[in-house]
Amino acid sequence: MKVLVTGGAGYVGSVVAAQLVAAGHEVVVLDDLSTGHRDAVPPGCTFVEGDVRDRAAEVLADGVAAVLHFAAKSIVPESVAHPELYWGGNVGVSLALLEAMRSTGVRRIVFSSTAAVYGEPERVPIREDAPVRPTNPYGATKAAIDAALTEHARMHGIGAVSLRYFNVAGAQDGRGERHATETHLVPLVLQVALGGRESVSLFGTDYPTPDGTCVRDYIHVADLAEAHLLALDHCVPGRHRIYNLGNGAGFSVRQVVEVCRAVTGHPIPVVPADRRPGDPAALVASGERARAELGWRPRRSELATIIADAWAFHSGGPRAEAAAARPAGGR
Ligand code: UFG
């Protein structure tokens, strides 16, 4: 099948694009390279550089059967500081994509949503029927897009699947996290082990959690990516289905640092700091629906495996190989 991957030069999008190529799909990546990297686009993909709002209709009209939509801004603290960037860059772009799908008759979409839509949950693990009450603009924009997908399924007969990611980490085949300004915990902790920073700040040590630091559900990017390929087969016309993607196990910031120490052999000093605005205390997924309906089985769910793969990427090996790999065909 020919598929469009928006944001396929980014972290999750590029890993999914590589798995789609490996599964025999014809993949077109559309990315404006605002945060993605040209060399992350997997060999075998056609690469189109540009904004979804300008280029999606023309790409879709060229025989595309389904869309996997990753192109978005995804940094929680940035969204708190500049919400307008998120309403335009996430909601505006997604509505334009849905309009392009409507005008070209493409009716299947898998959307990259987030656990941030739930805000501070009443119960963990979080199920898909939990109230949507985001505590930051990033989560609010993704919740708005989920709502738009429900309406488009009802009114226009598209088949949509939203995948709500918990905390993605790790790497596959030389594709890992590479943000110009890094804010995510795992890469920041590993930067300390690499000598790029002196210590890690613990953003809040007085949360109502066992050790006072925030608890998150970490999921390997390769497992996460596999769920997208399964979701493609579950885009049923007229239906919008939502799935949480997590391992169902929570780890505190201190526990993540501890595992990073074990994996890297570096002492990784920590410094207590103020809470970061917009952070919920604990986010842990119930992955039951994804397992039951998609048949999804995370295979790399140990935190030590996730961190070891991230470490291999950041400390050089696979990343250097990826940089040396043959570039994808452009147009
Ligand atoms: N943290 C620190 N120190 C740091 C960086 C992060 O203590 O230097 C803490 C944060 O405060 C948070 C935890 O580590 O408690 C994880 O923070 P990340 O920035 O790595 O990730 P978030 O939980 O903020 O957000 C991520 C994704 C979102 C997604 C969310 C869902 O970026 O898209 O997970 O769980 F919605």
pLDDT at 331: 37
Nearest to 187 by CA among 164, 166, 212, 167: 167
Closest residue by Cα to atom 4, ligand 1, is 185
CB < 8 Å & 24+ apart, contacts of 308-312: 308/263, 309/170, 309/171, 309/172, 309/176, 309/220, 309/222, 310/169, 310/170, 310/171, 310/176, 310/177, 310/186, 310/187, 310/190, 311/190, 311/193, 311/260, 311/263, 311/264, 312/171
Measured from the CB, is residue 183 less than 6 Å from ligand 1? Answer: yes
Q: Is any ligand 1 atom within 6 A of the Cβ of residue 188?
A: yes
pTM (two decimals): 0.95
C-alpha pair distances (Å), 224 with each of 123, 133, 135, 171, 232: 23, 23, 24, 11, 13
* Distance separating alpha carbons of residues 185 and 216, to the nearest angstrom: 10
Task: Give the closest residue to 193 by CA, choosing from 97, 264, 270, 293.
Answer: 264
Tokens in use for 298?
A: 């995370």
Give the three-class secondary structure for 205. Answer: coil
Q: Which two tokens stand for residue 324?
A: 């040396």
- Residues 44 and 279: their CA atoms lie apart, in Å, by 39
SS3 label, residue 60: helix
Of ligand 1's listed atoms, the one at least distance from the Cα of 278 is 24
Which atom of ligand 1 is closest in space to residue 184's alpha carbon? Answer: 20
**Which residue type sits at 12?**
V
- Spatial separation of the C-alpha atoms in residues 67 and 303, rounded to whole Å: 31
Distance CA 274, CA 227 (A): 35
- Scored b (16 or more CB within 10 A) or e, 269-299 reads ebeeeeeeebbbbbbbbbbebbeeebebebe
Q: Say which residue the tokens 């595309």 belong to.
A: 64
Which helix (H) or strand (E) covers residue 224, if one does?
Answer: helix 221-232
Q: How many Cα atoms are found within 13 Å in the side-chain-facing hemisphere of 88? A: 5
- Ligand 1 center to 58 CA (angstroms): 36
From the alpha carbon of 217, which atom of ligand 1 is closest?
35
User: What is the chain's pLDDT, residue by residue, as a tens digit (331 residues)?
Assistant: 999 999 999 999 999 999 999 999 999 999 999 999 999 999 999 999 999 999 999 999 999 999 999 999 999 889 999 999 999 999 999 999 999 999 999 999 999 999 999 999 999 999 999 999 999 999 999 999 999 999 999 999 999 999 999 999 999 999 999 988 899 999 999 999 999 999 999 999 999 999 999 999 999 999 999 999 999 999 999 999 999 999 999 999 999 999 999 999 999 999 999 999 888 899 999 999 999 999 999 999 999 999 999 999 999 854 444 433 434 344 3
Six token digits for residue 29: 């990546």
251, 276, 286, 307: residue to mutate for ligand 1 pocket, most atoms within 8 A of CB: 276
Compute the distance from residue 18 Cα to the ligand 1 centre, in Å: 26
State the distance from the centre of ligand 1 to the C-alpha of 282, rounded, in angstroms.
10
Given this model, what pLDDT does residue 316 score?
A: 86
Residue 268 has, within 13 A of its CA and on its CB side, a CA count of: 27
Q: Can you tell me which residue has the tokens 């699947």?
A: 161
> What count of Cα atoms within 13 Å lies in the side-chain half-sphere of residue 286?
14
Nearest Cα to Cα of residue 235 among 146, 116, 111, 124? 111
Longest dimension (CA), the chain: 56
Are the CB atoms for 190 and 268 separated by under 8 Å?
A: no
Residue 138 is among the residues annotated as catalytic for this protein: yes
CA-closest candidate to residue 306, choices 314, 316, 295: 314
Q: For ligand 1, say whether the CB of 86 is within 6 Å of any of its atoms.
A: no
Q: Which residue, judged by its Cα, is nearest atom 34 of ligand 1?
A: 167
pLDDT at residue 317, rounded to an integer: 55
Residue identifier of the C-alpha nearest atom 26 of ligand 1:
167
